[in-house]
Structure 1
Amino acid sequence: MAGVERSYGLASREQFEGLSGIELLQAMIRGELPAPPISKALGMLLVEAEPGRAVFEGRPGPHLFNPLGSVHGGFALTLIDSAAGCAVHTELDAGIGYTTVETKANMVRPVPSEGIVRCEGRVLSRGRQIATAEAYLRSADGKLLAHGTSTLIILGKR
């Protein structure tokens, strides 16, 4: 999550119009386009994107604690949904959008309250209108924390 100067916000249509999904995501990784505001709020960033694959890193902390003092499961679910969705986005042409229809996750163990976690998403299947992807959230030492699948609908031109 270090190395590139990050800005947060929304890119203008002029900035991303004409970029394929993978080009848009890679521009965000390089810091040429802003990371979305949710990235700042939750402490997560897209760090890798290649065809059919996307990786996020997250930095859990007290800002994500639930009433019991542990990291809320929504953080893991958001990383899984984001990694799976962006994996699909890497395969979309310029002007084609998508949105999540359903994401299902299994929490295997608690997310550590500090350090870095990584979530890797991969496309399982992509048709003209529906895609499915899987994602795995792991601790810094590689332990599986959560895994899940997403179903996404592919939309027409933005």
Structure 2
Amino acid sequence: MCGSNVFSRVLWLFLCRAIASCSPLTADRQANITSMLEQQADRVMALGEWEERWQQNKIGFHQPEVHKMLKKNIDKVLNGRTGVRFFFPLCGKAVDMKWLADMGHSVVGVEISEKAIRQFFEENNMTYSEEPVPAIPGAKVYKNSEKNISLYQCNLYNFSK
């Protein structure tokens, strides 16, 4: 089940991102969080469970601001390039996507939750279109009117381009 291990690692990275964005922790609290995360390291979240979290608004992993490390290092990431294409797996409604698009870059995201995708566009006051993706059964793509943000609603493992 190689795919499951990859999905588990992606979720692990999300947890690490959430912790990294927090203020400095005491040694005791850091040890407690590390212990808790180690227990979850090999846990795989099913697609239905992920969608259910969005439906119940249990999205504590969502960050309301652009990640501070992205802001700090954007010049290094871009290395003088313009019009860069950024990929956001498990994108949710990450505000980083709009921030990058506002800088003139394009964003491609993949998310299983339709609610997350719609909330992204609605919370950012963006007009968007929705259309099926024939190459991926059951998938849809949502694009803003400027066409620089394309969010695919599908299983990440069915997405190849």
Same fold at TM > 0.5: no
Q: Using CA pairs below 8 Å that are at least 6 residues apart, which structure has the higher relative contact order?
A: 1
| TM-score using structure 1 length | 0.32
Larger strand proportion of the pair: 1
Larger helix proportion of the pair: 2
